[in-house]
Amino acid sequence: MKNSSRLSLRIQIRSFKNTFFQLNDLPFKGLLPDDLIEAIHQSGNIRSTVFTPLVTLRTFLFQVLSSTGACKEAVAHVLIERIGQDYNANSMNTGPYCKARLRLQLPHLTKAVTSSGQVLHEQASDNWLWNGYRVMLVDGTTLLMPDTDNNQKTYPQQSAQKPGLGFPIVRLVGLLSLATGSCVDYAIGPYQGKRTGETSLFSHLIQSIGEHDLLLADRYYTSYANIALLTKQGTPLVFRQQSTVKSDFRRGQHLGAKDHIISIKKPKKKTVWISDMAWKKLPDELLIREFSVKGTVYVTTLMDVRTYPKKSLAELYQQRWQIEVNFRTIKTHMGMEMLRCKTAEMIKKEIAVHLLAYNLIRANIARAACLNNKEPRHLSFMAAVQLMRNAASLCITLTGMALGKLILPLLIAMAQTDIGQRN
């Protein structure tokens, strides 16, 4: 019998990458750099004969992708793999696996999410872009978790619920790529309390949006501070206008029917989540473009009416709903709506692993789309999950041409699962 502790780091990294189709001759390279994978490897008990850090992370990823999400199923999966590779069979006791998950470092997991999401977003095919811009979406959602004292302390249930009749709840705000669906960055916090709202959490994500990105968001994000900070870093935006604002298209520079450029002044009252110094540095006024299409009023910083007609901007904005579809995919199809861990620290890791698994699936959907002249958001997410789950054990053991012969047909199969045409 072989002993897994004798496997070299190089072989462990290769096995980990192969499992998720991270081959150099496929599109979308470098999702998880080797130095990050090595850092994950070095962070845990590398002397473990079964649950090395990379085996633990890989098992955790497939656990959140499984139909049950149970630790027992995850441990059983490892046992079957080890027997197939002629290693000593591990025990079905879940204790060693759960302890190994505790040793995974949260900064490495969050870095893996942002690295994979950003690479996917930045390497999107040119024909998936809008007027040369990589479109980014932002929105918030909530997740529930087991009702333990530790979870309640960090993520209290809603104040309107009586003790014992509700679940701890966490708010998540995510930046998602329209082209690839990947999660580029995210922030989490309690559902209630000071600086826990969506815009407060979004303030931690602004630096992850670049000048070649175009941000779409609903009216909740249409604040002076958000527009000013995004404009300062060169990021254009299209937002819904706030319902409390009465638009007067007789004012400002006329661009067309219900389309104008106006100047807005900085509010006297500071936004809660921004520091006094940062607030003082914001300009005293901003120029924005405001337009109306079919009764809906929008705000944008794209001023050129010829390059960016208002109807084209309104049609683009309709794609904002895609982030709600993606959140539903993560919560419903991946079981993230009700998390499983019993401590706040593990809840943070569980969220990160869910989003990393989501990005790795999105990467293979993007590869399938790229190789078969399709768009990622038109392909089935669940079909990709099912194909990867069934192929995982083979991907670990195969190398070279044999691995390529397995993965390419799988990508072709993913490209054949158009949404709306599934059996």
CB–CB of 108/133 below 8 Å? no
Same-domain pairing of 141 and 96: no
Angle made by CA atoms 341, 346, 348, in degrees to the nearest 5 = 110
Give me the domain span that covers residue 306: 109-327
Distance in angstroms (rounded) separating the CA atoms of residues 293 and 403: 51
Question: Does residue 276 lie within any of the structural domains?
Answer: yes
CB–CB of 299/289 below 8 Å? yes
CB–CB of 310/303 below 8 Å? no
Distance in angstroms (rounded) separating the CA atoms of residues 325 and 33: 29
Question: Does residue 40 lie within any of the structural domains?
Answer: yes
Question: Does residue 358 lie within any of the structural domains?
Answer: no
CATH number of the domain residue 218 falls in: 3.90.350.10
What is the 3-state composition of the chain as percent helix, strand, coil, each rounded to the nearest 5? 45, 15, 35
Residue with tokens 């999702």: 31
Residue with tokens 């690479």: 119
Given 288, 310, 327, the domain boundary residue is 327
Question: Does residue 363 lie within any of the structural domains?
Answer: no
Same-domain pairing of 240 and 223: yes
Rounded-to-10 torsion of CA 314, 318, 323, 326: -150
Same-domain pairing of 86 and 158: no
Residues near 208 by Cβ (< 8 Å), separated by ≥ 6?
114, 118, 175, 184, 185
Alpha helices in 20-168 (DSSP H): 34-43, 53-65, 71-84, 95-103, 106-122, 149-154
Residue 334: φ, ψ to 5°: -105, 5
Same-domain pairing of 248 and 166: yes
Given 311, 327, 343, the domain boundary residue is 327
The pLDDT, as a whole number, for residue 8 is 67
Given 327, 345, 362, the domain boundary residue is 327
The pLDDT, as a whole number, for residue 87 is 81
Question: Does residue 354 lie within any of the structural domains?
Answer: no
Same-domain pairing of 253 and 117: yes
**How many domains, the chain?**
2
Stretch (H or E) spanning 261? strand 259-265
Q: pLDDT 10s per residue in the chain (423 long)?
A: 444 444 567 777 887 888 888 877 888 988 998 889 889 988 765 566 788 898 899 999 989 988 888 899 888 888 887 887 778 888 899 999 999 999 999 999 999 999 999 999 999 999 999 999 999 999 999 999 999 999 999 999 988 787 777 899 999 999 999 999 999 999 999 998 777 889 999 999 999 999 999 999 999 999 999 999 999 999 999 999 998 899 999 999 999 999 999 999 999 999 989 999 999 999 999 999 999 999 999 999 999 999 999 999 999 999 999 999 999 999 988 889 999 999 999 999 999 999 999 999 999 999 999 999 999 989 999 999 988 888 877 777 777 777 778 888 999 999 998 886 433
- Residues across the chain: 423
3-state secondary structure 160-212: CCCCCCCCCEEEEEEEEECCCCCEEEEEEEECCCCCCCHHHHHCCCHHHCCCC
Same-domain pairing of 316 and 387: no
DSSP 158: P
Question: Does residue 359 lie within any of the structural domains?
Answer: no
DSSP 330: I
Same-domain pairing of 92 and 149: no
Question: Does residue 356 lie within any of the structural domains?
Answer: no
Q: CB atoms < 10 A from the CB of 247, how many?
A: 16
Residue 170: φ, ψ to 5°: -120, 140
- Classify strands 296-300 and 237-240 as parallel, antiparallel or unpaired: antiparallel
CB–CB of 54/100 below 8 Å? no
Same-domain pairing of 224 and 304: yes
C-alpha Rg value of the chain to the nearest Å: 23
Distance in angstroms (rounded) separating the CA atoms of residues 101 and 332: 23
Question: Does residue 11 lie within any of the structural domains?
Answer: yes
The pLDDT, as a whole number, for residue 166 is 85
Same-domain pairing of 177 and 273: yes
**DSSP one-letter string for 11-30:** HHHHHHHHHTT--TTSSS--
Same-domain pairing of 288 and 411: no
Same-domain pairing of 270 and 303: yes
Structure tokens at 383: 């079909």
Predicted structure pTM score: 0.93
Same-domain pairing of 264 and 207: yes
Q: How many CA atoms lie within 13 A of 120 on its CB side?
A: 33
CB–CB of 348/335 below 8 Å? no
Distance in angstroms (rounded) separating the CA atoms of residues 353 and 373: 30
